[in-house]
Chain A
Amino acid sequence: NAGVTQTPKFQVLKTGQSMTLQCAQDMNHNSMYWYRQDPGMGLRLIYYSASEGTTDKGEVPNGYNVSRLNKREFSLRLESAAPSQTSVYFCASSEWGGTNEKLFFGSGTQLSVL
């Protein structure tokens, strides 16, 4: 049972390069999320997708774009990477996104932008 799968696990970019982080879940969840985690900052929501075909901004969306490709997949794109985007990125999913729901996290992507 894979749960939430993220790729890649590690990535190093130069300033200005672009890349896409991939996320897929096999739990038939409707809602998916992208978080970033920085030392001393906790987890912060970048974007979320309440259901297939919808996406919305979270707390820190600037510099990112997302695509909910289908019910299983939710990708995060950095169009022009900046050193401030060096972070650990987590994809997560939940059944409906309502209150009281458990989030299931992927294993994370450690991104360094030089």
Chain B
Amino acid sequence: QKEVEQNSGPLSVPEGAIASLNCTYSDRGSQSFFWYRQYSGKSPELIMSIYSNGDKEDGRFTAQLNKASQYVSLLIRDSQPSDSATYLCAVQRGGSNYKLTFGKGTLLTVNP
């Protein structure tokens, strides 16, 4: 059973703080990693993808990947109330077209 684990939260941070979201995965053949954001009652939208070990930055978001330890994380700097949402980690095995395995998501609340 290939699993993607996330802390369900809720994770509560004050406005302006750094929010840190973590995800671990069990399949060592995983090659592609994604973070989707889902507002309450809405559909998921992709905010970050990462394929190589290390950090990838996009604006206030930084994705970090460590394949040896099988974890991927998402840092949100200068958190805003509009960042309050559920963040879904998704993992794709190398060569496994069409099939993403999603974690259950972490609910983030940013308090003004």
In the bound complex, residues from chain B placing their C-beta under 8 Å from that of A100 are 32, 49, 51, 92
Complex contact A43–B88 (CB within 8 A):
yes
In the bound complex, residues from chain A placing their C-beta under 8 Å from that of B45 are 105
Complex contact B43–A105 (CB within 8 A):
yes
A43, A45, A97 interface centre (most CB from chain B within 10 Å):
A43
In the bound complex, residues from chain B placing their C-beta under 8 Å from that of A105 are 43-45
Selecting from B56-64, B69-77, B98-106, the interface stretch reads B98-106
User: Could you say which of A43, A50, A96 contacts B102, with CB atoms under 8 Å apart?
Assistant: A43
Which residue of the partner chain B has the closest CB to A90?
B43
User: Could you say which of A58, A96, A102 contacts B46, with CB atoms under 8 Å apart?
Assistant: A102
In the assembled complex, how far is the CB of residue A42 from the closest CB belonging to chain B, in whole angstroms? Answer: 4
Complex contact A45–B99 (CB within 8 A):
yes
Complex contact A103–B104 (CB within 8 A):
no
**Cβ of B95 under 8 Å from chain A:** yes
Complex contact B43–A58 (CB within 8 A):
no
**Cβ of B96 under 8 Å from chain A:** yes
In the bound complex, residues from chain A placing their C-beta under 8 Å from that of B4 are 42
In the bound complex, residues from chain B placing their C-beta under 8 Å from that of A108 are 42-43
In the bound complex, residues from chain A placing their C-beta under 8 Å from that of B104 are 40-42
User: Could you say which of A45, A96, A106 contacts B100, with CB atoms under 8 Å apart?
Assistant: A45
**Cβ of A48 under 8 Å from chain B:** yes
**Cβ of A87 under 8 Å from chain B:** no
Complex contact A42–B46 (CB within 8 A):
no
**Cβ of A31 under 8 Å from chain B:** yes
In the bound complex, residues from chain B placing their C-beta under 8 Å from that of A45 are 99-100
* Alpha-carbon distance between A102 and B8 when the two chains are bound, in angstroms: 23
List residues of A whose CB falls within 8 A of some B CB: 31, 33, 40-45, 48, 50, 56, 58, 90, 96-100, 102-103, 105-108
The 10 closest A-B pairs by CB, nearest first: A105-B43, A43-B102, A42-B104, A97-B98, A42-B102, A102-B46, A97-B97, A48-B98, A99-B32, A100-B32
